[in-house]
A and B are shown apart, each in its own frame.
Chain A
Amino acid sequence: MPLPTGPVLEAGIQSFTFHDGGGPVLERIGFAAAPGTLTAVLGASGSGKTTLGRLLAGWLTPGSGGTLHGYLELGGTRLDFGSGRAGADANGQHRVEPRIDPAKWGRQVGFVPQDAAAALSTVRATVAEELAFGLENAGVPRPAMVAAVARTAGLLGLTGLLDRNPARLSGGQLRRLAIGCAVISGPAVLVMDEPFASLDAAGAHELAALVRHLVASGTAVVILSQVIDGLLLAADQWLVLAAGTVAAAGDPASLGPETGLVPAGIRRVGGAAGVDRGALSTARTAPASTGNAEVPAAAGTAAVPAPPRETAGAGAALELRDVSFSYGPDARRPRNKGHWLARSRNAAQPPRQPLVLAGINLAVRPGEIVAVTGPNGAGKSTLLRHLNGLLRPTTGSVLVNSSDIAGRAAGETAAAVGLLFQHPRDQLFERTLLREVRFGLDRLAGAAAAGERAAAALAAVGLQGAAHGHPAELSASGQRLLALAIVLARRPSVIALDEPTVALDGDGLAVLDAAVRSAAAEGAAVVLVTHDLDYARTAAHRLVALDGGRLTER
């Protein structure tokens, strides 16, 4: 029996290698998390955080998922993997590799994957049922489930969404749901990969409170992150990863910015930024110590260059006139489930949906950068999908380069408007990075120019080395940068970026920042959606807030 103060989850990883024939992804890592503690695993992109988190959570099982040499210990049960290494067993005794039972593991370790959608069962029709899914499988009686769902939804701001279809949530709502699914059964260990990504200020606040509460009630919480914020500053221990191994470990006080032990790619934000409030500028001027990306020289640390003056006669590159929109009727599940006769009456006359956008007016001039902020579910992503015609306003019109896009197919408007989706998985579908960037580029620029442009765009984001790799094998930040390259290679006159900073470390952020500035300098109108107010203030000429379907200048 483990002592109550002993670690509940422990790992000793000599090496972990994926089956794809590459080198080890993780090497010489010791990890231990005790009940009632908060552990932060910090690392810039590509440092191996996500792999470590998935191993700890039992989502990446040694054997089928890759080769592990080392051990994992959960609740006092130790599993030794790959112990036959280096011929240690002189008498050639064959030892059976242990196997992780994901279901058993999952009962003790809750996991929130970096891509929140990956946590969903996809076989449940409402948010409430999705939350209850794990409890159903454990045979929890219904009254207890109902209570747990109500409580968890309350903690995460999901109460109003319980009847919604999980597949139709906004990015932040989805993140909240994934967290809810992981915490609802009260696991002894909770592992969360970048849980703050895409959360609005209220959501981040609620999550921090939830984590403190869980830690106080004895849960071992592990947060994997590439930014250090107020919550992580108060963690019990940090494990800093760089290039797949431990760069530093200890309590946060011993790893302050002055020690230089934490790689510069790991940003400090909010309360953790300290005196040096320009977290962005730190990352920008510091040498890229962990990233392999070649960071283009950013335009200094000064504020964004002044927006272009309004010249008489020159129209806005993008204009929204009184745009209103609501999602269609089958976007929400009817409450009267299973009414195969009576549902008819609803279907014939769908109930009116609330307006997501209610009379939006916005004009963006060439060269201007506008940041849109607003709470989760405010309709920011919905707004951006209107700019290239993927969604059509119920009333009102969208003008690109002074002409109404109403009559045109989305594919035609795409020549002038580039959209970076909130989730890179919504953007990527090809087999290699190069094919991905080239899709549709030939038609736009001609075959000869397309090849050059694609290569240049990949180089601009530091991905030229992986041009023939598979996009799904990139880290989350790699996928984001690839998506950015796709948009930039098309040289659109309107660029719409949906939460471009999510998953980017300091180096990635510098790449993004440089790209946005240079695109604007060349005359593109940029609309970017973000929850990162610091970034919005340094990067944009103008900030607008979307709330309650309306845009307000701020």
Chain B
Amino acid sequence: MRLHPLTGLAAAGSTAVITTAAGSWPLSLAVVAGALAVSAAGGTARRLLPAAAAVLVPLTLSLLMVHGLAYPEGRTVLAEWGPARVTAEGLGFALQRAVQVCAAVLALLAFSFSVSVPDLVAAMNAKGVSGRFAFVLASTLTLLPAIAAQAERIRTAQEARGLVIRRGLVHRAAAFRLQAVPLVLALVDDAGTRAAALEARGFSSSGPRTSYRTVPDSTAQRLLRAALLLAAAAAVVLRLLTSAAGG
């Protein structure tokens, strides 16, 4: 089956909503495993993992700090420094929250790394997104690759003039110091050029537009999307009801 980008988006989005609303250990863990499996199968795991780590490590640590150290209902004290107490309940709660957040973030990241941006833009256009907004959408979605391409261009130019960059992230990061200013200037310059071309080729026109790229959609996928959204809504409602009843 070929997945429509909006179906992917709906799946990732509702998964994130449902796991957050449900707040259940096993479900969250299953979603984490599922997202990792999808991304590994899609060959995007190598890009996904660093991005996920960048988002999740600080988030998890801060959750542990906040809840692990100061959890009012905590009874089982594991350690104590003055007013700060580490309680088993607090740690448990923090871990549960962390897994929940991991699940939501991984689901969304797995989607964003595997979706084809051109398809997404085309699908949005087909849904009637046009004019200025299409412009903003398309340039936002293509911004990262554009920056990466510029940075690569400048790095290549510098290497051709004797800048030695050894393998490895650390060396690249060190060399980036020399690329930062040219990169910003080039991006500004580029934006101007790009705007001229887009403008002259009618990208900001408000009339009806068509799409060359076709993104096949099916009734089944439309139904699936509706079902996913309904499920997400239901999960939220259920959560609100139970917490109202519980509290």
* Cα separation A346 to B159 with both chains bound (whole Å): 32
In the assembled complex, how far is the CB of residue A64 from the closest CB belonging to chain B, in whole angstroms? 10
Contact A388 B160 (CB under 8 A): yes
Bound-state Cα–Cα, A412 to B161, Å: 9
Most buried by A among B117, B146, B196: B196
Decide yes or no whether B60 CB sits under 8 A from chain A: no
- Asked if A89 is at the interface (CB within 8 A of a chain B CB), the reply is no
Tell me which residues across on chain B come within 8 A of A441, comparing CB atoms: 161
A125 to chain B, nearest CB (A): 4
**Which of A109-125 touch B at CB < 8 Å?**
111, 118-125
- Whether the pair B2, A440 counts as a contact (CB closer than 8 A) is no
Contact B210 A136 (CB under 8 A): yes
CA distance A121 to B146 in the complex (A): 12
Contact between A343 and B202, CB atoms less than 8 A apart: no
- CB of B200 within 8 A of chain A? yes
Bitwise, B181-197 to A at CB < 8 A (1) or not (0) is 11001100100011011
Cross-chain contact A339 with B202 (CB below 8 angstroms): no
CB < 8 Å A-B pair total:
188
**Chain A neighbourhood of B181, CB < 8 A:** 431
User: Which listed segment binds B: A22-30, A70-78, A137-145?
Assistant: A137-145
Q: Are A490 and B114 in contact (CB under 8 A)?
A: no
Residues of chain B with a CB closer than 8 A to A337's CB: 116, 118-119, 213
Q: Are B200 and A472 in contact (CB under 8 A)?
A: no
CB–CB B160/A410 < 8 A: yes
- A212 on the interface (CB 8 Å rule)? no
Question: Which of A111, A167, A410, A430 has the most chain B CB atoms closer than 10 A to its own CB?
Answer: A410
Total B residues in contact with A, Cβ cutoff 8 Å: 63
Which residues from A are CB-within-8-Å of B162? 411-412, 414-415, 440, 443-444, 490
For the complex, what is the distance from the CA of A336 to the CA of B1, rounded to whole Å?
Answer: 12
Known A118-B197, A145-B212; contact A103-B164, beta-carbon cutoff 8 A: no
- Stretch among B3-11, B19-27, B78-86 lining the A interface: B3-11
Q: Tell me which residues across on chain A come within 8 A of B1, comparing CB atoms.
A: 341
Check if A338 sits within 8 Å of B200, measured CB to CB.
no
The proximity string for B residues 36-58 relative to A, scoring 1 for CB distances below 8 Å and 0 otherwise, is 00100111100000000000000
Most buried by B among A125, A141, A419, A441: A125
**Which of A196-204, A259-267, A420-428, A460-468 lies at the interface?**
A420-428
Which residues on the A side are within 8 Å of B5 (C-beta)? 338, 340
Find out whether the CB atom of B212 lies under 8 angstroms from the CB atom of A390.
no
Of listed A58, A339, A411, residue having the most chain B CB within 10 A = A411
CB contact under 8 A between A427 and B212, given known A121-B198, A123-B142, A338-B116: no
State A430–B41 Cα separation when bound (angstroms). Answer: 43
State whether the Cβ of A105 lies closer than 8 Å to any Cβ in chain B.
yes
- Chain A, 330-351, contact with B by CB distance < 8 Å: what is the 0/1 string? 0000001111111110111000
Contacts of A439 in B (CB 8 A): 158, 161
Known pairs A123-B138, A440-B163; A137 contacts B202 (CB<8 A): yes
User: For A59, what are the chain B residues with a Cβ–Cβ distance below 8 Å?
Assistant: 196, 200
Does any Cβ of B come within 8 Å of A106's Cβ?
yes
Which A residues are CB-close (under 8 A) to B42?
340-341, 343-344, 347
For chain A, the bracket of interface size reads 35 or more
A520 within 8 Å of B by Cβ? no
* B156 contacts partner chain A, Cβ-Cβ < 8 Å: yes
In the bound assembly, the distance between CA atoms of A115 and B119 in angstroms comes to 28
Of chain B, the residue at the smallest CB distance from A59 is B196
Interface residues of B in 165-223 (CB under 8 A from A): 165-166, 181-182, 185-186, 189, 193-194, 196-205, 207-215
- A341-B201 in contact given A136-B210, A145-B212 (Cβ < 8 Å): no
A272 contacts chain B at the CB level, 8 A cutoff: no
**Does B139 make an interface contact (CB < 8 A)?**
yes
Show the binding face of B for A, using Cβ within 8 Å: 1-5, 8, 38, 41-44, 111, 114-119, 121, 138-139, 142, 146, 149, 153-154, 156-166, 181-182, 185-186, 189, 193-194, 196-205, 207-215
A-B contact pairs, 15 of them (CB 8 A): A59-B200, A118-B193, A121-B203, A123-B121, A123-B142, A133-B212, A135-B212, A137-B202, A137-B203, A140-B210, A167-B149, A338-B3, A340-B114, A414-B160, A415-B162
Given contacts A339-B2, A440-B161, 9 further A-B contacts (CB under 8 A): A102-B199, A122-B146, A129-B118, A129-B212, A138-B209, A340-B114, A388-B159, A426-B153, A430-B182
